[in-house]
Amino acid sequence: MTEPTALSLSVEDGIAVLTFDLPGESVNKFSPAVIEEFTGYLALLERDQAVRAAVLISGKPGTFIAGADIDQFLAFRSADDAAQASAFGHTMMRRIETGRVPLVVAVEGACLGGGLEFALAAGYRLAVDTPKTVFSLPEIKLGLIPGAGGTQRLPRRIGVQAALDMILTGKNVRAKKAKQLGLIDEIVHPSLLREVAIRRARELAEGKIPRIRETRRRTTMSRALDDTAVGRAIVLRQARQLAMKKSGGNYPAIPAAIDAVRSAFAGSESAGYATEARLFGQLAMSSVCKELMFLFYATTALKKDAGVPEGTVVAKVDRIAVVGSGFMGAGIAAVSAQQGIPVRFKDTALERVAAGLASVRDVLREGLTRKHITRREYEDRVGLVSGTASYTGFGRILLVIEAVFEDLGVKHTVVRELEQVLPADAVLATNTSTIPIARIAEASARPERVIGMHFFSPVHKMPLLEVVVTPKTAPEVTATAVEFGRRIGKTVIVVNDAPGFYVNRILAPYIAEAGRLLDEGVRVEAIDRAMRAFGFPVGPFTLIDEVGLDIAGKSGAIMAEAFGDRIRSSEALARVVAAGRLGRKGGKGFYGYDEKGKRTGV
């Protein structure tokens, strides 16, 4: 029996249409076998004189090409192995770029990594404007740089500034922005994608569209920066300074990416590609890359683990309620609305509800300001969140998340009130960061329906969600909480109801040791500076100020009670808490802050 192939070919009046649909996979990706198949088809098209142009289109809804199958990176035994793989990619892309048969790529869905590098080599790029259609070079997140020509073609296509922004961040670019940048040539309606792609391929073959052309709208300043050696030098230098400041020099892929982009303009074309291959090879063998690869695989595996036996029933949650309109409650409501989920927002007074709704709008407005969403999308999402000072509307809610003050008595009151109005099969989740879930569930007539959903602050930026289970928590309750967390884009871990849960349990020794150093006379800023140099995004005292000293103090007390001298409280930390310093939110903690929350000193 013949093995199913990734590519299928049809020819319509001299225009070949290649459909990429990798069997047995949810996304299209490049593996050695797929690349070999592509190479064979390219040779076939070159030989067939009846074929004048070609179109590549995906057979998978929501994905064009997701990039390389990174399993192949694990097979590299040396930097030379990786560099040779990069060089082979260069050869394939060069063949697409300069071959007799011009190629049009018709993009619907994610066009990532090697998929975007493939598109950059094509003669014409068109795409649909759907939420799943995004363009990115995410290799930097694996400690790598693009290895199939991305550092060479992208800056020539969209300019050095825009290219560095994409390469150094790995961020997604939506279709409209891609068109503005010159990354793609045209946006079409999804129903017309194939038809228009074939038409453009025919126009390429007839010479009506040149294969090399300027597609960007550029200002005089951007021309000066992108098209002159002096301008590019300024951009590259500033990019290095900013990136190194943010990374602390702990991320070798950043300077390598900048060097690779510089090589695109520093000498011959072949020298630029050779530089990219060499740097890709070096990075592929680095310890940073290997650790980030491990993190990628672990995160991927986590997405498949619901924390409960397979087949456990998951409640169909089509709306939620959030009790508590403070910073955390507003964040939970906002990220839910971002995913199109209606939210009933409750607090004890309408004034508090109004303040919470304003906070929700502030979070959602960030997407509008950054042009990630349209004005209509913003208004639709804002409209999904309704407020109340009573429990009206709770009778149909199957998931409620309480985010009230960290006081056991207050939480017990909320639990009792909720169980009077919620359906019997509703899930009651608590966002507590310090109180054991079993203690909160003591107030419940249905403790098997109570679970912890510990979000981190700020909710719309922090990806982790701890789902905390007690021995009494029903499996379907756990499964429902996990499914909802993933639905709103969180990285979900299921943990037992133990002191500190998971994150605070591993964070506590770090904070405790920082406190001991402070007790011994080491300066706050010296400790923070040392930990940033080691690789932490912020130091321990900056972190405490951000979380709030009141919350950190409660968490520390719980950990000290559980583990004794192993997590002994710091005397200096206790004095700061006793002095009424709350951190950034109160204007003073270990550091001082102005009325806008900007740090003013120690």
Domain final residue, candidates 469, 496, 523: 496
The token pair that represents 533 in the structure block = 């140099």
The token pair that represents 216 in the structure block = 């960007």
Q: What is the CATH number of the domain that holds 578?
A: 1.10.1040.50
Asked, as a colleague might, if the bond just before 458 is cis with ω within 30 of 0, I would say yes
User: Which is more confidently placed, 497 or 599?
Assistant: 497
What pLDDT is stored for residue 255 in this prediction?
Answer: 94
Q: What is the mean pLDDT of residues 422-438?
A: 94
Rounded Cα–Cα distance for residues 101 and 124 (Å)? 12
Beta bridge partners of 401: 322, 429
What pLDDT is stored for residue 1 in this prediction?
Answer: 33
Q: Tens digits of per-residue pLDDT, 154-182?
A: 999 999 999 999 999 999 999 999 999 99
What are the strands of the beta sheet with 63-65, ordered from one edge? 63-65, 110-112, 134-136, 173-174
What pLDDT is stored for residue 217 in this prediction?
Answer: 63
Nearest Cα to 263, choosing from 255, 223, 92, 218? 255
Domain final residue, candidates 471, 496, 521: 496
Q: Which domain holds residue 552?
A: 503-601
Asked, for residue 310, whether it belongs to a domain, the answer is no
Q: What is the mean pLDDT of residues 302-328?
A: 88
What pLDDT is stored for residue 214 in this prediction?
Answer: 63
Asked, for residue 313, whether it belongs to a domain, the answer is no
Judged against a pLDDT cut of 50, whether residue 501 lies above it is answered with yes
Q: What is the CATH number of the domain that holds 54?
A: 3.90.226.10
User: Picking from 153-162, 371-380, 383-392, 565-574, which range would have the lowest pLDDT averaged per residue?
Assistant: 565-574
Q: Tens digits of per-residue pLDDT, 243-297?
A: 888 787 889 999 999 999 999 998 899 999 999 999 999 999 999 999 999 999 9
Name the band, by pLDDT with cuts 50, 70 and 90, for residue 215: low
User: Picking from 68-77, 381-390, 473-482, which range would have the lowest pLDDT averaged per residue?
Assistant: 68-77
Q: Is residue 466 annotated as part of the catalytic site, yes or no?
A: yes
What pLDDT is stored for residue 218 in this prediction?
Answer: 65
**Same domain assignment for residues 445 and 463:** yes
Q: What is the mean pLDDT of residues 77-92?
A: 95
Judged against a pLDDT cut of 80, whether residue 224 lies above it is answered with no
**Same domain assignment for residues 473 and 513:** no
What pLDDT is stored for residue 213 in this prediction?
Answer: 62
pTM of the model: 0.84
**Same domain assignment for residues 507 and 361:** no
Structurally, the chain folds into a number of domains equal to 3
Judged against a pLDDT cut of 70, whether residue 426 lies above it is answered with yes
In percent, how much of the chain has pLDDT > 90?
Answer: 71
What pLDDT is stored for residue 3 in this prediction?
Answer: 60
**Same domain assignment for residues 520 and 426:** no
Judged against a pLDDT cut of 90, whether residue 430 lies above it is answered with yes
Domain final residue, candidates 453, 477, 496: 496
Q: Is the dihedral of CA 302, 308, 311, 314 positive or negative?
A: negative
Mean pLDDT of the chain: 91
Judged against a pLDDT cut of 70, whether residue 493 lies above it is answered with yes
Marked catalytic residue, from 269, 466, 513, 520: 466
